[in-house]
Chains A and B, each alone.
Chain A
Amino acid sequence: MTGDIQGSGGDEVGQLLRERLPRHQAPARLRLSVADALDPPKPRRRPSLWLAPALSALATAMVMMLWLAPSLPRSSPDSIQRLSRAVMSEYARAVFASDVDPGLVPSTLPRVMQESGVLLQWVFTGDEDIKLVNAQPAFLEGRRALALTYQDRDGHSVSYIIAHGPSVAIPDRERVQIARWRPVVRTEDGLSLIVWRQSGLMCVMVSDLVSASDLGRFKEYFVKVRSATEVTPNY
C-alpha cells in the first residue's frame, strides 16, 4: 500500500514505525468505563404475578420503618457527602486566609507541591474573570492534598482541591457533561461541588456559587481550570 509513497528511504521509516514505535494499549479502567458507557439500559420487565403481594408486604415494612425511624441509628452519608464535609473546612480555611498575596503564589508552588505530594505540570493562573490567589498544602479525610484558591471578579472564592486516594466512588448516574468531561455536580450544605478523578487523584472544586445562573458560571470556571491544569501524584 505504501509502495508509491516511500520516497528516499521512506519505506525504512515505515518499517521503523511498524516495528519500533510502541503501541499503547488502552488501560483497563478506560476499557471498563467505555464498556460501561456503551452498556444499554436494562429493559423493564413485566410485573410478575407475585409483585402485588410483595409490594403490599414492602409497604407494611416501610410503615413500620417510619414508625421506628426516630429510634434507629442515622444512615451514613454517601461518599461524596463525606467528602463535601471535609472539603468545606478546607474551603473555609481558604476563604478566611488573611495572608494571601497572589503575587507570591507562583514562587510558593514548588514547596506546596512537595509538601502535598501533588505535582502540577500545568496550572491555570487566571484570566480576566478569575484569578489564582492562593496555594497551600491541605488534608482531606486524612490524606495529603493540595488546595488552590481562585477569586472571581465579584469576590466569590473557588477552591480546587486535589487529594491522594481513590476512596470516593464517583456515581456514574450523577455525572453531567461539561464540555468534554463528565464530573459529578452536587450542591451540599449551601456549597456547589464538582467532583472528578484525574490521573489517579481525587479532584474537587467547591464554591458558594449555588444559584442556577451562578452554577453556570461555576461550570465555566471548571472548564477553564480543568482544561489548563495537569496534575500527577508525586510520592
Chain B
Amino acid sequence: MADDEFRQQALRHIDALYNLAVYLTRNGSEAEDLVQETYARALRFSHRFEPGTYMRAWMFQILRNTFLTFYRLREREPALSEAGVPEGEAPMFHHAPVEDGESAGAHMDLERALGRIPEEFRTPLLLAEVEGLSLEEVARIMDCPVGTVKSRIFRAKERLRALLKDYGGTDLT
C-alpha cells in the first residue's frame, strides 16, 4: 500500500482509537499520548500491514499492545501520593454535549461501572458492542481464541449489569 494511502486510511480511525484510549486510560491527556504513540508505531511498522485486511482492527491491536506495554507498567509502580496530596482516580474526560440530569447520571453510572471491569473484559466488550468489530477481529486484537472472547464479553456484560443494578440509577429490567 502506498504511503499516502496508508496515512489517509490510518487517520480516519483517530476518533475510534481515541474513544477506546479514553476508556482504557480513563484520562484525557493520557489517552492523547496513547493515540500519538499508536500512530507513531503504526507508521514505523506500516510495512507489516497487510493490504486488504482491516486497518481499524490492526490499529486497535497496536493501541492495546502499547497500552499494555507502557501503561500497565505504570500501574505496577508503588503508590506515589502522600498525605496532603489529593488522591483518587483521575477523572474521565468528557466532550459529550450538555445533557439533562437523568441521562448524565446514567452516563456516569455506565462509565463508573465500565471502569471497574478489568481491562481484559472491558476491551473486548467495547470493541464488539461499541465499535462493532466481529468476534474474529476482537480475538485477533486480544490475541486469544474466539471462544475466550465470547466468554469474556458474556462475563463483562454480567458484571456490568450487576454493577449498574447496585448503582440503582440505570434500569435494566
Q: Please list the residues of chain A having a beta carbon within 8 angstroms of any beta carbon in chain B.
A: 1-2, 4-10, 12-14, 16-18, 20-27, 29-31, 33-35, 37-40, 106-110, 119-125, 127, 179-182, 198-199, 227-228, 230
Number of interface residues, chain B, beta carbon within 8 A: 65
- A24 pairs with B157, CB closer than 8 A: no
- A34 pairs with B36, CB closer than 8 A: yes
Nearest CB in chain B: distance from A229 CB, A:
8
Max chain B Cβ within 10 angstroms of own Cβ: one of A26, A27, A124, A182: A26
The one of B33, B84, B93 in contact with A181, judged by C-beta atoms closer than 8 angstroms, is B33
A5-B150, A9-B172, A125-B81 are known; give 18 further A-B pairs, CB within 8 A. A7-B158, A8-B161, A9-B157, A17-B126, A17-B130, A20-B107, A22-B96, A26-B14, A26-B18, A34-B11, A35-B11, A40-B3, A122-B90, A125-B82, A125-B85, A180-B37, A180-B70, A182-B36
State A21–B28 Cα separation when bound (angstroms): 16
- B11 pairs with A24, CB closer than 8 A: no
List chain B residues, Cβ under 8 A from A23: 15, 19, 130
- A24 pairs with B70, CB closer than 8 A: no
State A13–B31 Cα separation when bound (angstroms): 25
Closest A residue, CB atoms, query B34 = A180
Assess A30 versus B90: contact at CB under 8 Å? Given A13-B161, A38-B11, A109-B84: no
- A38 pairs with B39, CB closer than 8 A: yes
Q: Please list the residues of chain B having a beta carbon within 8 angstroms of any beta carbon in chain A.
A: 3-4, 7, 10-11, 14-15, 17-19, 22-23, 27-29, 31-33, 35-37, 39-40, 43, 66, 70, 74, 77-78, 80-86, 90, 93-96, 103, 106-107, 110-111, 114, 125-126, 128-130, 132, 134-135, 150, 153-154, 157-158, 160-161, 164, 170, 172
State A127–B85 Cα separation when bound (angstroms): 17
The one of A5, A12, A20, A39 in contact with B110, judged by C-beta atoms closer than 8 angstroms, is A20
State A27–B167 Cα separation when bound (angstroms): 31
Assess A37 versus B39: contact at CB under 8 Å? Given A22-B96, A23-B19, A25-B95: yes
State A1–B95 Cα separation when bound (angstroms): 29
- B74 pairs with A13, CB closer than 8 A: no
Nearest CB in chain B: distance from A49 CB, A:
30
List chain A residues, Cβ under 8 A from B160: 13
State A119–B27 Cα separation when bound (angstroms): 15
- B106 pairs with A125, CB closer than 8 A: no
- B32 pairs with A30, CB closer than 8 A: yes
Assess A17 versus B129: contact at CB under 8 Å? Given A34-B35, A109-B84, A123-B85: yes
Assess A24 versus B95: contact at CB under 8 Å? Given A9-B172, A13-B172, A107-B83: yes
- B85 pairs with A106, CB closer than 8 A: yes
- B110 pairs with A37, CB closer than 8 A: no
State A1–B37 Cα separation when bound (angstroms): 31
Nearest CB in chain B: distance from A141 CB, A:
23
Assess A199 versus B85: contact at CB under 8 Å? Given A17-B129, A40-B7, A124-B80: no
8 smallest CB-CB distances across A and B, nearest first, come from A10-B157, A26-B18, A106-B84, A22-B96, A13-B157, A106-B82, A24-B22, A38-B7
